[in-house]
Amino acid sequence: MAFGKFRLTEKDRQAIAGTIASAEATTSGEIVFAVSDASGKYRYTVLQLALAGMAAAAAVYLVTPVHHSIGGLLWIEVLSFALLYSVAPHLRWRRWLITASEMRARARDAAFMEFYASGLYRTRDANGVLIYLSLFERQVVVLGDRGIHEKMGDRYWDEVRDLIIGGIRSGAACKGICEAIERCGRALAQYFPRKPDDVNELPDTVIDRTSKP
């Protein structure tokens, strides 16, 4: 299964939400899972594709054995540019025009924004964990608040990330996500066991920012 073809079904959302609830049952920590179509718009790639398509359409027009005119050429250029500019944002292969480092940076920036938007930064013990999946960039970012991050470190979050990437590539995306959540839950339970006065500070539902087909 490719990243671009992955979509959460309602059954997947329920399974993930249930796994989050179970993982949080033994800890004061909070886990949030979010999925997004893309972490950036990359408008310059749309412009590049539209300009390239316009040039190609003009070249085809000029080599076609028909009567050529300046007006006809201009119309070909305008129409082809407009068509490709409207279609290009939906072409996933435009990611070939973007460097891997830029996509990683965009995904990480978006994950930080989601961390704050979801309210994870407000947990009582600074022990919230975000798992953020960005489909266009094919990136998974795992962020732990300072309370849990200082216990686990980047290497642990990378292992959590790899569970999801492996699940998607093997065609078992939901299973990989649930295993990643369970792994986060075990880490949180080890260092932040549930307290008698604990409450569920954040909803367990999936934050789904993907466009619906």
Fold of 3-40+99-209: Diaminopimelate Epimerase; Chain A, domain 1 (3.10.310)
Domain coordinates in residue numbering, the chain: 3-40+99-209, 43-96
pLDDT band at 110 (very low <50, low <70, confident <90, very high): very high
- The Cα–Cα gap between 113 and 131 comes to 12
pLDDT band at 129 (very low <50, low <70, confident <90, very high): very high
pTM of the model: 0.86
Burial code (b: 16+ CB inside 10 Å, e: under 16) for 62-96 equals: eeeeeeeeeeeeeebbeebbeebbeebeeeeebbe
* Tokens 């990989």 found at: 176
Task: Tell me what pLDDT residue 134 has.
Answer: 95
Higher per-residue confidence, 68 vs 138: 138
Name the packing angle between helices 173-191 and 146-169 (round to 10°): 160
Task: Tell me what pLDDT residue 198 has.
Answer: 84
Q: Phi/psi zone of residue 154: left (φ > 0), alpha (ψ -120 to 50 degrees), beta?
A: alpha
Q: Which residues contact 77 (CB under 8 A, 6 or more apart)?
A: 54, 57, 58
- The Cα–Cα gap between 191 and 186 comes to 9
